[in-house]
Amino acid sequence: MRRHSGFILLELLVALAVSAIALSLLWQASNNRIHMLTRLEGNYALSRLTADIDILRAANQSLEVNPSHYLPLELMITSEEIHVTSHLYKTKKIFKR
């Protein structure tokens, strides 16, 4: 008997399994990267917010804050304080006085 040159079913299954594993690892790495970048953006926005408030206090200016300038943070602004209500961060209060 003569053997045909080409892929057999077992080789095809091994190739598909390796491809599936590689794709799942790529998917997980992409999700981790998105999560890391979101946390990094949030940390940067929080440090910018606290620095901006310190600068406004030092200049004796009114503490008017636009929440859209500090995305991805979710801010709840009252007349007395600013609450950071994002689900990735512990609730932090920044007093306006």
Tens-digit pLDDT profile for residues 22-59 = 999 999 999 999 999 988 998 898 889 889 988 988 99
Where is 12: in which H helix or E strand? helix 9-58
Instruction: Look at residue 3 and tell me if it is in a domain.
Output: no
Calpha distance 12→59 (Å, rounded): 70
- Mapped onto helix, strand or coil, the DSSP state of residue 58 is helix
- For residue 97, pLDDT over 60 is answered with no
Give the pLDDT score at 13.
92
Q: Please answer whether residues 56 and 95 qualify as being in contact, where contact means their C-beta atoms are separated by less than 8 angstroms.
A: no
- Residue 4 in any domain: the answer is no
Is 86 domain-assigned?
yes
Q: List the domain range (segments joined by +) for residue 37.
A: 9-95
- 90 domain-assigned: yes
Distance CA 34, CA 41 (A): 11
Q: What is the pLDDT of residue 61?
A: 86
State residue 90's pLDDT score: 65
Q: Does residue 65 form part of some domain?
A: yes
Q: How many domains does the chain have?
A: 1
Is the pLDDT higher at 3 or at 44? 44
| Token digits of residue 50 | 């606290």
Please give the residue that has the higher pLDDT: either 38 or 91.
38
Residue 1 lies in a domain: no
